[in-house]
Structures are given as C-alpha cells and as structure tokens.
Structure 1
Amino acid sequence: MRILLSVAILISAHGTHLRTPLFMHELPAELVEVSGLTDVSDTSVACLQDEEALLYLLDVHDGTVMERHRFGPPGDMEGLTRVKDGFYALRSDGLVYHLRKARSGYALADTFRLRLPNRDIEGLGYDEARGVVLVAPKDVLKGDPQLRDRRQLFAFDPHTHQLLPEPVLSYTLSGILQQARDAGITIPVRTTPKGRQVPELKLRMASVAVDPVTDHYVILSATDRTLLVLDREGRFVHLYFLDPDRLPKPEGLTFLPDGRMLIASEGRNGPARLLGYSGLGLQH
C-alpha cells in the first residue's frame, strides 16, 4: 500500500483543521465503501464494508487486510465497535450483530434490535469508563423546528443489550453552532433560494468515539466532514474541519490506546483511505 506523508499545520478561516496526518494508507478495492472503524490493538483495527456483513481486520502500519470474517447476509452495515474480545456491528435499521472470538476467528453470537425512533443509525463506539456502547443516529427526527434541531447520543448495556432509559447526550444544532462562534470559529453558510443565509453544517452523526486521553466524546459528521468534541456534560470543546481531498467521505472513527486517532474514508473517484493523526489534545 502506498503511504503519503507531509508535515504542515492547516488553519482556515472556518476554524481549526487537523494537523496533516501521521500516515495515509490506501485501502484495497473491496473496501471502497468502508464503513465503521474500531481499534483491535496498538497495531490493528477492524472495519466493515458498507454492503456486506464482513468484518475486516487491518494492519495499521500499511492498511493491508489481515483477516476477513463473514457474519451475516448482505445489508447496509454502518457502525462497529470492539468490547473486550468481541465486536458489535450495526445495520442502519438498528439491527445489531454481536460477534465473539472463536477458534476460526470471529463468530456470530446473537443479534438484537435497537428500538429507537430514528430510521438511519450509523455509529457505534465503546465508552469504557461507563461500560456502555454509544449509539449515534444519523437522521434527524421529523416534526417542528425544535425537534429537527435536536441531536441525541444513545447507549446500550453490552451485558443486557438494553438501551439506557435516557440519552447519554442531548444538545441542539443551533446551540452548538453558537458555542462554536463564541469560540471564534467561523461557521460556513449557504444562501437559500429566498436569499436567506443559513448555516451549512447539519452535524449529522456518522461515527462516535471516546478520546482515551481527554475523555471527551468525539462525533464524526460525514456530511459536513467535521469532528465535534464535547465533554462528559455535553459542553462544547472544539469543532475540527476535515480535509475533503484526503477524506472525501469519512465514515469511521476510532482511537488507539496511545491516543492516536484513526479515520476511514470511503473512496470517491479513487480508493478508500485510512488516516492516522496525533491525539486531539496535541492539535492546537
């Protein structure tokens, strides 16, 4: 696999861009629609392919596929997270596959469904401190403006597979954008057909992870190519803008134990990619 490296730090008028990646690996053609990403060890990660129930184990050093494990029929596979020596894989309609370590790799232990009002659920991430699996819906609920403005992060107990009774986080798009402006970040805008200027950002969730160094929630939006960082109380910490040339459609986010952050992007007019960054605490 080809590795592309550079060393600049980018700051734009919109806000803070991530430092140039530590590495950028092109992924095999079979992963052009890579989806979901989770750590396995210091040197390996796991991901999914969007249309197949296939678990891939990748070498962090070069992006090569080390193992493949089929666990179900084709479907819109989106989220993936590791819990101890097993995995949870999420289909966008809320069906969750629980995979356990077996002699021949990983085998399907059971399935269960997340009973959420959302119809497009994309992200999973393990919150080790709380012992729960985070669930990030992509779609916004239909209804009045206040409902459409709301963003919520849910979680389930990996022992019982039951959703927690209350969201882990609940915040509003308008509130987050205002906090970003107050922090000196310029929010990009677009002009409506009626001539009004409105924020371009929707902050729809594609993936979620907990930064092992700062203990902050990090929420990836593929549509906006942003990383929203919130503390445990849901307070705004930072908003990062991703490079569209390197990450045309970022779908997966995870952290390695040493704090390095990895992002996987689907291919668009080219191969999918796996990028590694220094920890977010080192980005400023």
Structure 2
Amino acid sequence: MNRWAVGIIMMVLIIAGIVYAIYQANDYDFNDAIKSYKIINKWEMPEELREISGIYWLNDNRIACIQDEDGIIFVYDLKSSRIVKKYKFAGPGDYEALTFLNGSFWAAESNGRLHKINNITGPEKDSEVVELDFEYRHNIEGLAATSDGKLLLSVKDRNLDNRGDYKGIYAFDPKTAELNYSPYLKINYNDPAFEVLKTNNPRLLIRPSDLSFNPESKELYVLDAEFQKILIMKGTGKIKEMHLLDPAEFTQPEGLCFSPSGRMFIANESLGGPANIIELKILKKK
C-alpha cells in the first residue's frame, strides 16, 4: 500500500472520529420521533465557504455570507447555486456573525471587534471598525439587529460578568457606541426546557452560535452548534420552545437567518463533508 493510500485512509478515520465525537457529545439519541422540523431545501457551499459562519438574507433568493478567516462578504444565489459577488471589507480575522441595521451591514469578530460595512454594491474599501471593551475569552458568535436600532451580541463562552448560572445576550447601541454589560436577555441554565437534555453541563445546555429575529412572530431564535438545537425565546428570557436538530443533518450549525416572509435558513460549516445552507421549517409541536 503506497503512502497516498495510507494518507487517504488516515484522513477518513480522522473525519469518522470527529463525526463520532459529535454524536457522543450529545446525551440523547436523536430519532425521527423527536424531530420537530422539516428540511425544505439544501445547498452545498463552494470551497471558499467551507468555514461559513454568518448569513443574512438579502433579496431575490440571495444570501450574504461570511466565513471565519477572511473579511469578505460573499453573495450566494440560491437559484443558480453559486457565488455571484464578493466584497472585501477587511483583512484576515475570525469573523463569526453578520447582520444588517439601518442601511449598513455589521460583521462581528470573536474578539469583540465590530465592522460596519456601508455599501457592498460600491467599490471595495475598509470597514468602519468599533473596538468593544471586550475579552477574547468571551467569544462573540452571534449578532442580530433589534427593531429599535440595537445590535444583540451572543457570547459562546464566558459571560461579560463571568457569572456561570446563565448565558447572556448583550445589547450594543451604534448611536452611542456603548455596550450594555447588563444582559439584554438571560438564558438560565435551570430553565425547565433543558430537562430533556439530561445534563447539567452548561457547555451542552447552550453555547450560542448565532441568533436572529423571526420577522413574522418577532421572536428571537437562538442557534446552538455545540449541542445542535434552536431555542425560541420569550421576551422575558424564558425558553418558549426548544427544537433539537439531527447531528447527521446539522453537523456544525453556525449561521441563522430569515427572509422577510419567514423562510428560515441555517448554515453549517464543513465537517466531514461540504459546508451547506439548509432551509427548514419548524413544525408545530403536538
């Protein structure tokens, strides 16, 4: 057996080990009996978007995407299944989330740096950068715009106050350039909705990878890539519904967005296969 064959076999074993680890990390056995969603469509991403991390609906079946490593907004056309535009707004970084507010795109890096991109249809240029008083260990992963002009930021790891009994979502006001260190919303680890997970490990309860408002219900949806699921939140911070996602279908869900009509999309990073965008519909629980 030549070295190429050995290398291929080793790579297959590594990928299989990663996928197996994902399943073992979850304390439940996913099956169709607990599935509360329906997959409508699926698009495999090109190699440039293998690290897709944030998405935002544009128009005419086009979705704006960012990936972890480069400061580029990619416009992906769902009808033609291809990238139709690229807009470079910054250099290399760790870009995790994308949203749109008051005529500008906003991209977040995990270390707390926000990029304001005013016009992706014009010539490429550097973005306006906002440096938050933020520690890397907090790890921003999600970004969403509120109806009153705020940006919501979700932290994947430590809360801004380093407390460990909830996961905080925080508000940033672009007009005043102020980050409110008191949580806009708390997802409490003792919420009864988490009981089905059969674990007290905060890492498995919720580590948000993105968040977005449903334009029809106005409810905040929180995505989790660690223990694949979607939380639908009440305004009080309590969990209204929790929808578990099949790890075989959502290997690493990192991005979430809605169309104005309520179509829902989740982006999965490449893990054991091509990255993808999946359109899904939440089903009414019986």
The within-5 A match list for 1:77-92 is 77-92=95-110
Q: Equivalents in 2 of 1:140, 1:90: separation in Å?
A: 17
Residue 134 of structure 1: SS of its match in structure 2?
strand
The answer to whether the 8 Å contact 1:99/1:106 transfers is no
Quickly say closer, same or farther: Cα 1:15–1:133, change in 2 above 3 A: farther
Residue 40 of structure 1: SS of its match in structure 2?
strand
Determine which of 237, 241, 246 is the counterpart of 2:240: 237
Of 106-115 and 82-91, more deviation after overlay is shown by: 106-115
Aligned to 2:85: 67
The answer to whether the 8 Å contact 1:215/1:232 transfers is no
The answer to whether the 8 Å contact 1:142/1:148 transfers is no
Q: Equivalents in 1 of 2:203, 2:99: separation in Å?
A: 29
The answer to whether the 8 Å contact 1:135/1:155 transfers is yes
**Which structure shows the higher helix fraction?**
2
Q: Which amino acid aligns with 2:248?
A: D
TM-score (structure 2 length as normaliser): 0.81
Residue 96 of structure 2: SS of its match in structure 1?
strand
Aligned to 2:253: 250
Of 30-39 and 156-165, more deviation after overlay is shown by: 156-165
Q: Equivalents in 1 of 2:151, 2:161: separation in Å?
A: 28
Quickly say closer, same or farther: Cα 1:22–1:102, change in 2 above 3 A: closer
Q: Equivalents in 2 of 1:34, 1:248: separation in Å?
A: 13
Of 223-232 and 62-71, more deviation after overlay is shown by: 62-71
The answer to whether the 8 Å contact 1:27/1:273 transfers is yes
Aligned to 1:187: 197
The answer to whether the 8 Å contact 1:39/1:82 transfers is no
> What are the Cα deviations for residues 126-176 of structure 1, in whole angstroms up to 9, with x where unaligned?
12x2321110111025999xx222211011123333223532102321x22
Structural RMSD (CA) = 2.6
Quickly say closer, same or farther: Cα 1:77–1:241, change in 2 above 3 A: same
Quickly say closer, same or farther: Cα 1:199–1:235, change in 2 above 3 A: closer
* 1:84 Cα deviation from its structure 2 partner: 3.8
* 1:202 Cα deviation from its structure 2 partner: 2.9
Q: Equivalents in 2 of 1:140, 1:153: separation in Å?
A: 11
Q: Equivalents in 1 of 2:202, 2:155: separation in Å?
A: 21
For structure 1, list consecutive stretches of 5 or more residues without a partner in the other structure.
Answer: 1-10, 190-196
Determine which of 138, 145, 153 is the counterpart of 1:135: 153
> What are the Cα deviations for residues 32-57 of structure 1, in whole angstroms up to 9, with x where unaligned?
11111112125211111111111111
Aligned to 1:266: 269
Aligned to 1:20: 38
* 1:257 Cα deviation from its structure 2 partner: 0.4
Q: Equivalents in 2 of 1:141, 1:15: separation in Å?
A: 35
The answer to whether the 8 Å contact 2:90/2:127 transfers is no
> Is 2:117 aligned against 1:110?
no
Aligned to 1:209: 212
TM-score (structure 1 length as normaliser): 0.81
* 1:63 Cα deviation from its structure 2 partner: 3.7
> What are the Cα deviations for residues 206-249 of structure 1, in whole angstroms up to 9, with x where unaligned?
10111111111111111111111111111221111112122100
The answer to whether the 8 Å contact 1:63/1:274 transfers is no
Q: Which amino acid aligns with 1:151?
A: K
Quickly say closer, same or farther: Cα 1:42–1:203, change in 2 above 3 A: farther
Aligned to 1:124: 143
The answer to whether the 8 Å contact 2:97/2:210 transfers is yes
Q: How many aligned positions are there?
A: 256
Q: Equivalents in 2 of 1:110, 1:265: separation in Å?
A: 28
Aligned to 2:169: 153
Aligned to 2:224: 221
* 1:16 Cα deviation from its structure 2 partner: 4.4
The answer to whether the 8 Å contact 1:93/1:119 transfers is yes
Quickly say closer, same or farther: Cα 1:236–1:100, change in 2 above 3 A: same
Q: Which amino acid aligns with 1:157?
A: D
Q: Equivalents in 1 of 2:46, 2:134: separation in Å?
A: 34
The answer to whether the 8 Å contact 1:154/1:167 transfers is yes
> What are the Cα deviations for residues 245-276 of structure 1, in whole angstroms up to 9, with x where unaligned?
22100000011100111000001121100011
For structure 2, list consecutive stretches of 5 or more residues without a partner in the other structure.
Answer: 1-28
